[in-house]
Structure 1
Amino acid sequence: MENPSKIIEDDIEYSLGDFDGNRVLYDFDKISIYLNAKGKLLFGDQFRIYDEDKDIIHKLCYYFIKDQKNCQKYDIDPRKGILLSGPVGCGKTTLMTLLRHIIPTNRPYDIIPCRNVIFSFNHLGFKTVEDYGNTKSFCFDDLGIEPMGRFYGKDLNVMGEVLLSRYELFIQSKQRIKTHATTNLDADELEEHYGHRVRSRMRKLFNIIDFDESAGDKRK
């Protein structure tokens, strides 16, 4: 049996904790070492984990490793997806790109900028809504700041329709196919952009994890 507590990157083996033959006993110091190394591979040598982000990273780790005790403590439902919210440049997309690697056996999700969904709709029409309402897992990046879609002269709140489709998929599938997203907007702004019906569905689709409003722009 392979040891699920070990991950190999660039011929270097990283440990995430100890495997007792049935389950992994995760060690967050070891997870941090792995995430730092994987981050440098993905984003370059300038990548680092910031001390002020450790609470957010711990919550995301609890979610991805399905730590039931800590998920319950922080009101995180492992059956739902993640909506990671915070100011521009605080590292939301980076973390959602990075954290999906800590459990290699988990079903991966594609990270799709919402503006790309709109561009696709403008070209292909409602086939785009069908394509992103399928059984794959997605993380929609920069939710809520995308423009309206337009196809043959008709405007559509495309991401609103996609989210409704993803909600139907979520409640109908036995596997609870997940949807993730990142956003710069708060709950009121999302409701203003998508309407009450979509906002209501989002509550059932997502665990909301927020960066502090004072989180700095790491791209500077």
Structure 2
Amino acid sequence: MKLETTFHPSTPHILIEGGVEFHLGTMKGDTILYDFPKMLRYLDAKGKLLFGKKFKIHEEDQEILYQLCSYFIKDEISCAKFNIDPTKGIMLSGPIGCGKTTLMKLLRHLVPHHRPYEIIPTRNIVFGFNNLGYSIIEQYGNSNFYCFDDLGVEPEGKHFGKDCNVMGEILLSRHELFLKNPVPERSRGVTHITTNLNAEEIEDRYGNRVRSRLREMVNVIGFDKTTKDKRK
């Protein structure tokens, strides 16, 4: 089954999935006026294509989705309302099974005319470090667009007997590029993160230095801690 989203560069608000057109809004000059209910209908349809017919948009998640959609379409008014900086990345936090990874895999299809990001499980990055060493930190500490999935579940890295907090080092490297290259996105990259950890747990796991720099790199959007496990 072909899962690629198709669109015409002159009408990026019209997405085609399986021969069906989804109009996410209307064009006014060179500006797209997005319609949130229409975006939800598209995300529900795309989600079923990507994850199976059991996928659905849960009503209790719509507030989170509204914030995420506002970020991805760069709606300055809505972003300001939620204190979201569209030039930063997203750290999507919440309990296990609330749907963080699913949403980050899904929402990148909403704006196929924007530069895509690659979703990388943090465990895989550490396993790569254990085999290849510090070149892995250079590989992911660059200006590419990444979503680091499940930050905090990865083990400590170890290469030739030397321990390393691999993800902590990668985030610090990306922060340096973020500050050196003030032009949004193009030269400094964007860092997205999904995590089950809260701010205090991030500090315990990676230290205050990483926690403070994350504040400068990402917008924190969080599910309520009582959100149910959707995998059950």
TM-score scaled to structure 2, two decimals?
0.93
**Corresponding residue to 1:10 among 15, 18, 23:** 18
Structure 2 residue 139 is matched with structure 1 residue 127: no
CA contact (8 A) 1:82 1:206 kept: yes
**Corresponding residue to 1:181 among 184, 193, 204:** 193
State the partner residue of 1:191. Answer: 203
Identity %: 57
Count of residues paired in the alignment? 220
In structure 1, stretches of 5+ residues that fail to align are: none
Deviation at 1:212? 0.4
Q: How far apart, in 1, do the equivalents of 2:144 and 2:221 lie?
A: 22
Deviation at 1:109? 0.3
Structure 2 residue 216 is matched with structure 1 residue 204: yes
Aligned ranges for residues 58-137 of structure 1 at < 5 Å?
A: 58-137=66-145
What value does the CA root-mean-square deviation take over the aligned residues?
A: 0.9
State the partner residue of 2:28. Answer: 20
In structure 2, stretches of 5+ residues that fail to align are: 1-8
TM-score scaled to structure 1, two decimals?
0.98
Report the 3-state secondary structure (helix = DSSP H, G, I; strand = E; otherwise coil) of the residue aligned with 1:4.
strand
The letter of the residue matching 1:175 is: P
State the partner residue of 1:150. Answer: 158
Report the 3-state secondary structure (helix = DSSP H, G, I; strand = E; otherwise coil) of the residue aligned with 1:53.
helix
Q: How far apart, in 1, do the equivalents of 2:150 and 2:179 lie?
A: 24
Deviations 1:165-189 (A, max 9, x none): 1111212222342100000010000
Deviations 1:57-86 (A, max 9, x none): 000000001111110010000010000000
